[in-house]
A and B are shown apart, each in its own frame.
Chain A
Amino acid sequence: MVRKKVNIPAIHDKDLQDILKEFNLLDRINLGEITCLNCSKEITIENLGGLVSKDGGIKVFCDDPECIALETPNNELYE
């Protein structure tokens, strides 16, 4: 029997900076211009918890578990 797969999309640290650069976010993060989508905390490379595609753009949230939880239900993970 084939088991259903739940994919957990993830970014590895090695790819993170390249992806941020492609979305023109890296410089803005380094300048302290980007804040968490949910808690408005300033995002750094260290506290970046993940990215979310929203309203045609890419938003960033911090690694506070509550901020991750707020985004979770919008995502379809089943393959």
Chain B
Amino acid sequence: MNKLVEEILKFGLVPAILVVFIFLIVQDPDRAEKLKAVITKPFFDLFRWFSKTRISSEVNSSLNTYFKSSVFNQLIHDPDTQFKVKWVKNSKDPYFKENGSLILRLKEDKDQTKNVINAAKIAIPHVVCPLIRSHLDQNIRSAVDLTILQKLSERLGRHGKAVFKRYFLDPEVENDPTLSDVLSKLVELDKHGVYTPIFLNELELVGEELYANSDYNNYSKEVLDFTQYLLNIVKRNTGDEIELNYIRSPFKLGTILLAKTNKAQTQGVRPYLRRLRMKLDKGCDSIYLISFPNSYDFFNKILKIINSHESLEVSKVINTVDFQPSRGSNSQNYKIAILSNNGVSGSYGFKERVNANNLQVGDIYSCEVEDVSEREALVNLLGLRAYVKSSQSSWLPCVTCKNTLVVGDEYNFKILEIDFNTGTISMSRRVDEENPWLTNDSPEVGSKIEFKVIKVHKGNLEGVWNNQFVHIPNEEISWLGYSVSELSQFIGEVLDAQVTALDEAEFKIIGSLKNLYEDPWPKINELFKKGQEFHGKVVRVNDNHVIVEIDYSVVGILPRESLEKAGFEYANFNETMQVGQGVDVYISKVFIAKKKIRFDLTRNKTPN
């Protein structure tokens, strides 16, 4: 690059600047008009020279810049149009021979704002929703155009807004309350960032369909109802999840708002894909998927999956701004993806494809994982979506999809169920050939194994040994007993266990931790006599008792009754007592059968 710059500069600075200009103009031809407008301005302002060039370049560049950046890039079918003022110089011009031809007068004013807005007003009906206009009342057509012109005037600065209001807005709305009302609604849609991305795009799509069906009815009322539907969406409370279908002829659309990231993380894409399918089944031709920045990752993930969807295609992704969010900041960026029905009916296509591929329950296929959540995974079965529940994601019931499946990797899955009503395929990774219970050696009953703890389930420990499931019932974990919260400390640890049984039906190793240790209770009973006093330490405070640890890590229960009996100091013990706090207790009873020690406060002890 540096070499290129050096080579160009060899010819001198002026040619170098010219090369840069040419490069910029070739890259974007609209720049030539902007350049002409800038160069001719001083000559026009001072001497009225280059009048036509000045006016046409100002109008052309203003319209092209505005429509390209604020309107066309948000339309599904970008008209990719360039506006150009064509000067009519005499009465022989062909325009005068065409019936209906309009020739606009562009005044030779110093201020070109009126000319720009006038030219835009003429051009808009030809490039924005041209096919639906004949189905709408004049005041709705005007409201549509004025909303676009208002935004253009804002781009032209404070003066532009004033000119628009005085010469274009006020004269039209002052005697037409209906126009004023519709316009205010459309402007509100625009402030919320949905006017072009949703409203205009829907009018475009509906217009195309009406034209194709040779439908000549007036749909003004339907357009007003649709406007109200969109207003209800944009006026929602922040955080609300909206799922709405709008199937009222001639509109057939659905809206989905991605807002709750936590739901996305736990449930994955399936609920949204299901909703998309339902919307298609209900007759939606287009679906607007709306996402705020905190859901962009999930939004992109859904779009990626939709690209391989059999019935939908992503027509356009639009970046837009809500300038009137219900709370919080002054403006909020967000994205709208426009999804279109590609004409293949969901349920029919599903059945056809299942039959064409001869998919049968029990068949095994290698499938790529497309998405994984805590509860289930989405896999690609010969182009069809199939789901794998967490409990079916491995031979190990203690793991979730997230533990075992990696997005992009391929695994063997067995078809569990094909539901033609819902168009759903359920699959399992529990393929017999990969069952570790059959392929790996099992331990001997009575032997010691080292297993890894994966999770605590209903107070039991669950883990893995040699890819086989290990289950340690709660009563087999310890001689002294643990709470569920205390057990969670073992997750990820490797522990020793004695195999007590092998469950061949459920493919699980049942074990015991405490069997590896001698039962301490006979000794406890011998060591700790009723009435013996200790200075203990609080290890847990519950509503009905306090757990106190004394010597040799032995723990016992100090019941609520004992604490309340001790007076006001312990009356609200569950609020006032802290873990780690010292407490003087004596043994009130040792329950050998229950393997529990009961304490009382020393201060409650009746003197001998």
Contact = CB atoms under 8 A, between A and B. Distances in A.
A42 B217 CA distance: 36
Contacts of A65: 118, 121, 167-168, 171-172
A52 to B, nearest CB: 5
A70 B142 CA distance: 9
Contacts of A14: 51-52, 108
B82 interface: yes
B123 A15 contact: no
Contact of A13 (B108, B119, B126, B133): B108
A55 B99 CA distance: 7
A11 B95 CA distance: 11
B16 interface: no
Given A12-B87, A19-B91, A6 B102 contact: no
Contacts of B59: 8
Contacts of B125: 72-73
A58 B87 contact: no
A27 interface: no
Interface in A8-66: 8-16, 18-19, 22-23, 48-56, 58, 63-66
A22 B90 contact: yes
Nearest to A71: B102
Interface residues of B, number: 51
Contact of B88 (A10, A70, A71): A10
Contacts of A53: 95-101, 103
Contact of B103 (A9, A55, A74): A9
A72 B55 CA distance: 21
Q: Name, among B90, B97, B102, B108, the residue most crowded by chain A CB atoms within 10 Å (CB to CB).
A: B102
B102 A50 contact: yes
A75 B171 contact: no
A25 to B, nearest CB: 10
A6 B127 contact: yes
B32 interface: no
Contacts of A71: 102
A19 B90 contact: yes
A12 B108 contact: yes
Contacts of B310: none
A9 B102 contact: yes
A75 B107 contact: no
A11 B103 contact: yes
B121 A10 contact: no
Contacts of A48: 105
Q: Is the interface of A mostly helix, strand, loop or mixed?
A: mixed
A28 B380 CA distance: 77
Given A73-B125, A76-B98, A8 B86 contact: yes
A62 to B, nearest CB: 10
A75 B102 contact: yes
Contacts of A50: 102-105
A53 B96 CA distance: 5
A15 B90 contact: yes
A78 B101 CA distance: 12
A75 B122 contact: yes
Contacts of B553: none
A4 B142 contact: no
Contacts of B123: 6, 8, 77
Interface size class of A (residues with CB under 8 A): 35 or more
A74 B122 CA distance: 10
Most buried by A among B79, B88, B98, B133: B88
B573 interface: no
A50 to B, nearest CB: 5
Nearest to B93: A9
B126 A78 contact: yes
A8 B117 CA distance: 12
A1 B79 CA distance: 13
Nearest to B168: A65
B89 interface: yes
B79 A9 contact: no
Interface in B45-66: 51-52, 55-56, 59
Contacts of A13: 51, 105-108
B84 interface: yes
Interface in B434-479: none
Given A65-B168, A65-B171, A65-B172, A16 B105 contact: yes
Given A52-B100, A53-B98, A66-B171, A12 B106 contact: yes
B121 A11 contact: no
B84 A74 contact: no
A8 B98 contact: no
A57 to B, nearest CB: 10
Interface centre among B51, B119, B126 (most CB of A within 10 A): B126
B356 to A, nearest CB: 38
Contacts of A72: 102, 121-122, 125
Given A3-B80, A23-B91, A75-B122, A9 B104 contact: yes
Nearest to B96: A53
B103 A52 contact: yes
B88 A5 contact: no
Contacts of B106: 10-13
B81 A5 contact: yes
Given A15-B89, A68-B121, A68-B122, A58 B96 contact: yes
A5 B100 contact: no
Interface of B: 51-52, 55-56, 59, 79-91, 93, 95-108, 118-119, 121-123, 125-127, 133-134, 138, 141-142, 145, 167-168, 171-172
| Top 7 A-B residue pairs of the complex, sorted by shortest distance between their CB atoms | A74-B100, A22-B91, A7-B86, A13-B108, A53-B101, A75-B102, A3-B82
Given A13-B106, A19-B89, A53-B101, 16 more contacts: A4-B80, A5-B82, A7-B85, A9-B95, A9-B101, A10-B86, A22-B90, A52-B103, A63-B105, A65-B121, A65-B171, A66-B142, A68-B118, A69-B138, A72-B102, A77-B122
13 contacts: A8-B86, A8-B104, A8-B122, A9-B102, A23-B91, A53-B98, A53-B100, A66-B171, A66-B172, A69-B138, A72-B121, A72-B122, A74-B102
Interface of A: 1, 3-16, 18-19, 22-23, 48-56, 58, 63-66, 68-78
